[in-house]
Amino acid sequence: MTQALIVIASPDGTLKKNQQELLTLGRSLGETSVALVGDAAAAEAAAAFGAVVSYTAPAELGSFGAAAQAAFVAEAVARSGATAVLLENSVSAKEIAAVLGVRLNAGVVTDVVSLAADGAATKSVLAGAYTTVANSRGAVAVYTVKSHAVEPSEAPVAGRVEAIELPQDAYSTAARVVSRAAKPKSGRPELSEARIIVAGGRGVDGDFAPVEELADVLGAAVGASRVATDNGWIGHDSQVGQTGVVVSPQLYISAGISGAVQQKAGMQTSRVIVAVNTDEDAPVFEIADFGIVGDLFTVLPQASEEIRRRKG
């Protein structure tokens, strides 16, 4: 039976939705345990999602880089006998996955959109033009999984907590994180976790108000093309695409974005894509499920108003 180990960073003792998804996915592979960096209170939440054992890290571990966290996860792999390690698909998790892959001589598959019970990992490549399935032949496989791969579901067990202490020389302490500042909250969902994203591009011409209004009516996150972020119309952390955030929401509304290959690379695996563009030949319409040829400054406010009316 596969032993799955889920790597979770929890600064506040809670689980984010994508971490709940990883735990749910882990259970579909086999018995599931957790390598937990951060607040050990998250072990209880992990047990609610079926984690039989939560391995907790030394308190100072989060102050060091990917190599330190990989050393901890490697020890958790050894103790749990895990053959599959699942991480979220963030930049920092991918860095840990890479170091872990080297340490364990394991196969590493990133950007996974679905994972079969036999470990076959599906990913969407070349700006979504192809779907590939990858199998790892090593004793351990490491996967970084995109949000929304599964619906999270609880399966409570009486989980056990096991603290892992690492020897002094297990990782380099040469570089240490000395301070962290929480990003001011926008009140909107995180881009990488959002079920709905409304994104704007050059077509907004500096005015994100209609995009933000529709996002707020839908409880959505706001995304952007690189042109919009490069122009300073919105922060760089809102950029979707090859060099931005790669997203996979249930619904992606693209407004005033042409649909360049680098933008598509970040959103093509969205379940439903709606595009609003004045140019009927815009490439975004090639991948859109619903296309509206029109001015976003007319279409988006109309949509917001109609949704508000239907919500009552």
Cα→Cα distances 273→117, 264, 268, Å: 29, 11, 8
CB of 194 to ligand FAD, least distance (A): 17
The footprint of ligand FAD on residues 217-236 (CB under 6 A) is 225-228
Binding residue for ligand FAD (CB under 6 A) from 243, 250, 286, 308?
A: 243
User: What is the number of other CB atoms lying within 10 angstroms of the CB of residue 46?
Assistant: 28
* Among the listed residues 65, 101, 256, 291, the single contact to ligand FAD using CB under 6 A: 256
3-class SS shares of the chain: helix, strand, coil, % to 5: 35, 25, 40
Residue of 241, 252, 268, 269 interacting with ligand FAD (CB under 6 A): 241
Residue choice 90, 114, 231, 242 for contact with ligand FAD (CB under 6 A): 242
User: Least distance (Å) from ligand FAD to the CB of residue 15?
Assistant: 29
Considering the rule CB under 6 A, would residue 263 count as an interface residue with ligand FAD? yes
Measured N-to-C along each axis, helices 91-104 and 66-80 cross at an angle, to the nearest 10 degrees, of 60
Torsion angles phi and psi, residue 305, rounded to 5 = -65, -45
Residue with tokens 């591009």: 201
Q: Tell me which stretch binds ligand FAD (CB under 6 A): 4-12, 118-126, 179-187, 197-205.
A: 197-205
The order of strands in the sheet holding 196-200 is 221-224, 196-200, 251-255, 272-277, 290-293
Taking the complex as a whole, the smallest distance from the CB of residue 183 to ligand FAD amounts, in Å, to 20
Tell whether residue 304 is a contact of ligand FAD (CB under 6 A).
Answer: no
Residues 6+ away with beta carbon under 8 Å from 187 = none
* The one among 35, 100, 194, 296 contacting ligand FAD by CB under 6 A: 296
What residues have CB less than 8 Å from 141, skipping those under 6 apart? Answer: 83, 84, 85, 106, 107, 108, 109, 119, 121
Cβ nearer to ligand FAD, comparing 131 with 298 = 298
Q: Which residues pair with 6 in a beta bridge?
A: 34, 86
Please enumerate in sequence order all residues whose Cβ is within 8 A of that of 92, keeping only pairs 6 or more positions apart, or say none.
9, 66
Residue 195 interacts with ligand FAD (CB under 6 A): yes or no: no
| Nearest distance, CB of residue 123 and ligand FAD, angstroms | 18
Please state the closest distance from residue 267 (CB atom) to ligand FAD, in A: 9
Q: Which of 65, 101, 266, 291 binds ligand FAD (CB under 6 A)?
A: 266
Q: In whole angstroms, give the CA distance from residue 103 to residue 88.
A: 19
Which of 16, 17, 94, 202 binds ligand FAD (CB under 6 A)? It is 202
Q: Which residues bind ligand FAD (CB under 6 A)?
A: 201-203, 225-228, 239, 241-244, 256-258, 260, 262-263, 266, 276-279, 282, 295-297
